[in-house]
Amino acid sequence: MKPIIAIASATVGEAIRRKVLLVILFVGVLFVGFAPGLSVLSARQERSVLIGMTLGIIQLTSAVIAIVLTVYLLPNEIERRTIYTILCKPVERWQFLLGKYFGAVSALGVMMALMTGVLIIVFAIQQGEYSVDGLAILARAPAMYFIQMSLLAAVAICFSTFVTPLVNFFLSGGLYLVGSLFATFFETMQSNPSTPAFAKGFATLINTILPNFSLFNVQNPIINPGQQIQSEGAYYLTATGYGVVYIAAMLILGMLVFQKREV
Amino acid sequence: MGAAIETHQLTKSYKSKSGGVVNVVDALDLYVEEGEIFGFLGPNGAGKTTTIKMLLNIIYATSGEAKIYGQDVDDMSVHRYISYLPEKPYYYEHMTGMELLRFYGSLFGMSKGDPKYLQLLNRVGLGRDLNKTLNQYSKGMQQRVGLAQCLLNDPKLLFLDEPTGGLDPVAHSEIRDLILGFRDERKTVFISSHELSEVERICDRVAIINRGKIEKQGRLEDLLQGGRIELIANGVSESFSHGLNLPDTTVSYANQRLILDMPDDQDVNALIDSVRTQGGTIVSVIPRRKRLEDLFVETVRNVRSTESAAEAGQL
């Protein structure tokens, strides 16, 4: 366990100093901070627009950070030869990969927490939202985004064991888009009785294999208090369980490939 | 003394773009004795780093076997007593020298407060700079902190890839002294380097590898046998110089000065006697030891010319 923690903390140290990530984070924080100024365009539903916009900014910024951070994790270590000084010590490759992953997720968590903190402050000041419950509801979506981004990071780190960073960037980004936007479409195809059998099979296959990122998009009930998730607690628990299992599967696959890979 | 490193027919092949197979390391039989400083030499692309990576189990051999202190290299317990300093490594620059050692120490399960960190930083001369971040370190300091991280586990065997590459003369000499110190501690050091004069000064044995094959391997004193002697004499006649019939000797004569460049197994005393008998005087007798650079260039050129001849024969 000690090597994994050491590698993870070194990865956090590196990640929070990477200029490109800090620039993306800065832009994200800036938008979250100044979003209330933009929302005058929809004065009638100012609160809903503001919540939707700021959560969207947090989600988009986090996704970009998650991909940019993880696609370079392994290639940089190999290119700069740091990995050799680590793997020649009694460190298994799976420990190295896990350490890198947990480090990346921790750094991501810090950055997302910062954006969420700004979001809460903005709401407290702009909307006069001071109740703990109200602010906790706001923080619920970023919390689910964190699991979503941890899953995205696991996908990207798994791919980084066998594809180049550029290919990985588009592959992971593409999967994120498909898994976020088309999961509902494939679910509808599966459940629709008029869908032909082969299309149903295809939809089932895609929905089973591809990570379902849309499970973590829980912003709608927060934006529109009229909407509600049925059995909310069970839903969050199932989504979290799905995320953890998928992350574990991605990491195991990554470890198996990395074990065979020559660095 | 046992073997620190032993390889038998170790081979690493890659598929070439044309669909064939290229042996980057070709049936390598290497023997490094415990406690010696071993130089692993070769031109660029000869297979040195590939060999080291196979010995560290960072890449895997296509065939053959490699053992470190009698254990297969894929046995993780080997990593408890070896260390590696890669060529131009990058260390996490946000860390201080002390933090870097703590990081590498934790990979061995060492505690944060272990006094060994400070001892090692003092040993490599970084005792005053332990709280500076690595981006403030010079190249020489980075190399020294690299050596310090290599010593954390008190290794029996160190792999050093170009340990003095790109360093100024002072840093060069400091690193050399540190490596020579390892000999006193009976550590085995495996150095891959292009700095042949450095290797000649510190290594007990060397191997020269070219295109993945060992061309020469042995003790330096054995490999560097066959030096030359330069003899300069004044006042001898030209006919005397013409009368000399010495094998593998270059004879130059001008203005009554004779210059001979001959193998060191010549009977120099007899030659001096005959110069004196002719009324000449000996100006100087300078033995010139064969240098490692001469051996290296000669070996690599021989291989290339043999290959060229073979290719020409095929055409």
pLDDT by residue for chain B (315 residues), tens digit each? 789 999 999 999 998 888 888 999 999 999 999 999 999 999 988 999 999 999 999 999 999 999 999 999 999 999 999 999 988 888 888 899 999 999 999 999 999 999 999 999 998 888 889 889 998 998 888 888 999 999 999 999 999 998 888 788 888 888 888 899 898 889 999 999 988 988 999 999 999 999 899 999 999 888 888 778 899 999 888 888 888 888 888 889 988 899 998 888 888 898 899 899 988 999 999 988 888 888 899 888 888 888 788 777 766
pLDDT band per the 50, 70, 90 thresholds, residue A230: confident
Rounded to a whole number, what is the distance in Å from the CA of A79 to chain B's nearest CA? Answer: 9
Q: Which residues from chain B sit within 8 angstroms of residue A82, using beta carbons?
A: 89-92
Q: Which residues from chain A sit within 8 angstroms of residue B60, using beta carbons?
A: 262
Inter-chain CB pairs, A–B, below 8 Å: 76
The reply to whether A82 touches chain B by the CB within 8 Å rule is yes
Write out residues 169-208 of B within 8 Å (CB-CB) of A: none
Write out residues 12-41 of A within 8 Å (CB-CB) of B: 13-14, 17
Look at chain A and report how many structural domains it folds into.
1
- For position B33, what pLDDT does the model report? 93
**Which of A13, A81, A91 has its CB closest to that of B92?**
A13
- For position B98, what pLDDT does the model report? 94
pLDDT band per the 50, 70, 90 thresholds, residue A218: confident
Q: Which residues from chain B sit within 8 angstroms of residue A81, using beta carbons?
A: 86-90
- For position B205, what pLDDT does the model report? 94
- For position A34, what pLDDT does the model report? 81
Concatenated DSSP letters of chain B:
--EEEEEEEEEEEEE-TTS-EEEEEEEEEEEEETT-EEEEE--TTSSHHHHHHHHTTSS--SEEEEEETTEETT-GGGGGSEEEE-SS----TTSBHHHHHHHHHHHTT--TT-THHHHHHHHTT-GGGTTSBGGGS-HHHHHHHHHHHHTTT--SEEEEESTTTT--HHHHHHHHHHHHHHHHTT-EEEEE-S-HHHHHHH-SEEEEEETTEEEEEEEHHHHT---EEEEEEES--HHHHHH---TT-EEEEETTEEEEEEETTS-HHHHHHHHHHTT-EEEEEEEEPPPHHHHHHHHHHHHHHHHHHHHHHH-
**Which of B82, B86, B106 has its CB closest to that of A6?**
B106
Closest CA to B102 of A2, A102, A98, A106: A2
**Which of B85, B86, B108 has its CB closest to that of A90?**
B108
Taking an 8 Å cut-off on Cβ atoms, the answer to whether A82 and B58 are in contact is no
Helix axes A93-126, A19-38, angle to 10 degrees: 20
pLDDT band per the 50, 70, 90 thresholds, residue A45: low
* Whether pLDDT at A140 is above 80: yes
- For position A61, what pLDDT does the model report? 94
Handedness of CA B97, B102, B103, B107 (dihedral sign): positive
Q: Which residues from chain B sit within 8 angstroms of residue A1, using beta carbons?
A: none
Q: How far apart are CA B289 and CA B221, in angstroms?
A: 10
Q: How far apart are CA A153 and CA A73, in angstroms?
A: 10
Q: Give the residue carrying structure tokens 């994994």.
A: A4
Nearest CA in chain B to A81: B89
The reply to whether A92 touches chain B by the CB within 8 Å rule is yes
Query: Could you tell me if B118 and B157 are in contact, meaning their C-beta atoms sit under 8 angstroms apart?
Result: no
Cα–Cα distances in angstroms (integers) from residue A104 to residues A7, B93, B196, in the given order:
10, 17, 43
Query: Could you tell me if B38 and B189 are in contact, meaning their C-beta atoms sit under 8 angstroms apart?
Result: yes
- Region A83-95: mean pLDDT is 93
Mean pLDDT of chain A: 87
Taking an 8 Å cut-off on Cβ atoms, the answer to whether B92 and A14 are in contact is yes
- For position B272, what pLDDT does the model report? 92
Give CATH for domain B3-223.
Answer: 3.40.50.300
Taking an 8 Å cut-off on Cβ atoms, the answer to whether B87 and A81 are in contact is yes
- Region A58-69: mean pLDDT is 94
Q: What is the pTM of this model?
A: 0.83
Rounded to a whole number, what is the distance in Å from the CA of A151 to chain B's nearest CA? Answer: 26
Taking an 8 Å cut-off on Cβ atoms, the answer to whether A81 and B92 are in contact is no
Closest CA to A178 of A146, A213, A204: A213
* Whether pLDDT at A44 is above 60: no
Handedness of CA B188, B193, B199, B205 (dihedral sign): positive
Query: Could you tell me if B256 and B235 are in contact, meaning their C-beta atoms sit under 8 angstroms apart?
Result: yes
Contacts of A27 (CB under 8 A, 6+ apart): A61
- For position A41, what pLDDT does the model report? 53
The reply to whether B299 touches chain A by the CB within 8 Å rule is no
Task: Give residue B294's identity as a one-letter amino acid code.
Answer: D
Q: Structural domain of residue A160, as residue ranges?
A: 2-260
Taking an 8 Å cut-off on Cβ atoms, the answer to whether B106 and A80 are in contact is no
- For position A148, what pLDDT does the model report? 95
Handedness of CA B106, B109, B114, B115 (dihedral sign): negative
Q: How far apart are CA B129 and CA B141, in angstroms?
A: 9
- For position B315, what pLDDT does the model report? 61
Task: Identify the residue among B106, B107, B112, B154 best suited for mutation to test binding to A, counting A beta carbons within 10 A and taking the highest.
Answer: B107
Nearest CA in chain A to B111: A2
Contacts of A14 (CB under 8 A, 6+ apart): A103, B92, B94
